[in-house]
A = this chain, B = another copy of it.
Amino acid sequence: MNISKTVIQRLPRYYRYLEELKREGVTRISSGELSERMHVTASQIRQDLNHFGGFGQQGFGYRVDYLYDEIGKILGLDRIKHIILIGAGHLGQALANYTNYRRRGFNIEAIFDKDPEKVGTEVYGIRVQAMEELVPYIETHEVDIATLTIPKEQAVIVAKELVAAGIRAIWNFAHTELDVPEDVAVENVHLSESLMHLSYKAKNIRKEGEDEA
């Protein structure tokens, strides 16, 4: 199936709302109702969901279960993902504690940190291991995703080790772009960029308001 990048970027959001509907026991929903809930226009929703073969039926709406499963499959959520976490600081702990991932099959199974004081402690029931144990762990366990919650200087080095050890997906919270081969998927979460972007939006909303006055 060929789906554009912008539609793909909206799929996790559809998935999240469909999950909510499922939990509420809703079995079908119209594009209008979904539009109201998601703050997206109904025509956008129809256009997006048409990519999956027109699941919606006039006067009947979308079948929540079916759409949820189909989008889940496209996103690769139909099987358990084995995740490791490198960096047991506050951000790492926040991610490890977040139970929503588990429900979607994202299992954080090992945590590594270079701080000897953290090694041996437990985060959400997972024992923190030393960095020396990272590569041996990858070589003996199935690992789908490695999460980097360490400073950027370290992240660049660790990313190289991860790739050499066979990791093919990195969730990167370090404030740098990682230099990895083309067959390695990287998803960056740059929090400081997000904050700068908010600063820009706030400034320009204010300006528009002033222009009108």
Can you add 15 more A-B contacts, CB < 8 Å, to A12-B190, A38-B177, A185-B202?
A11-B196, A11-B200, A12-B194, A12-B196, A16-B190, A75-B196, A76-B199, A81-B199, A90-B91, A95-B191, A145-B198, A168-B202, A171-B195, A187-B198, A189-B194
Kindly list chain B residues whose C-beta atoms are within 8 Å of the C-beta of A177: 38-39
**The one of B8, B38, B182 that contacts A197, using a Cβ cutoff of 8 Å:** B8
Kindly list chain B residues whose C-beta atoms are within 8 Å of the C-beta of A192: 12, 16, 98, 100-101, 104
Size bin of chain A's contact surface:
35 or more
Q: Does A54 contact B (CB under 8 A)?
A: no
Per the bound structure, the CA–CA distance linking A184 and B39 in Å amounts to: 15
Shortest Cβ-Cβ A-B pairs, 9 listed:
A90-B94, A76-B203, A12-B193, A187-B198, A169-B202, A12-B196, A185-B201, A91-B94, A185-B202
Query: What does the 1/0 interface line of A169-213 toward B look like (CB < 8 Å)?
Result: 101000101010011111101111111111111110110110000
Query: What does the 1/0 interface line of A18-33 toward B look like (CB < 8 Å)?
Result: 0000000000000000
> Do the beta carbons of A89 and B100 come within 8 Å of each other?
no
Per the bound structure, the CA–CA distance linking A122 and B15 in Å amounts to: 37
Q: Does A68 contact B (CB under 8 A)?
A: no
Kindly list chain B residues whose C-beta atoms are within 8 Å of the C-beta of A205: 168, 182-185
> Do the beta carbons of B187 and A194 come within 8 Å of each other?
yes
Nearest CB of B to A126, in Å: 14
Q: Does A13 contact B (CB under 8 A)?
A: yes
> Do the beta carbons of B171 and A194 come within 8 Å of each other?
yes
Per the bound structure, the CA–CA distance linking A182 and B201 in Å amounts to: 11
**The one of B39, B104, B185, B195 that contacts A198, using a Cβ cutoff of 8 Å:** B185
Kindly list chain B residues whose C-beta atoms are within 8 Å of the C-beta of A208: 183
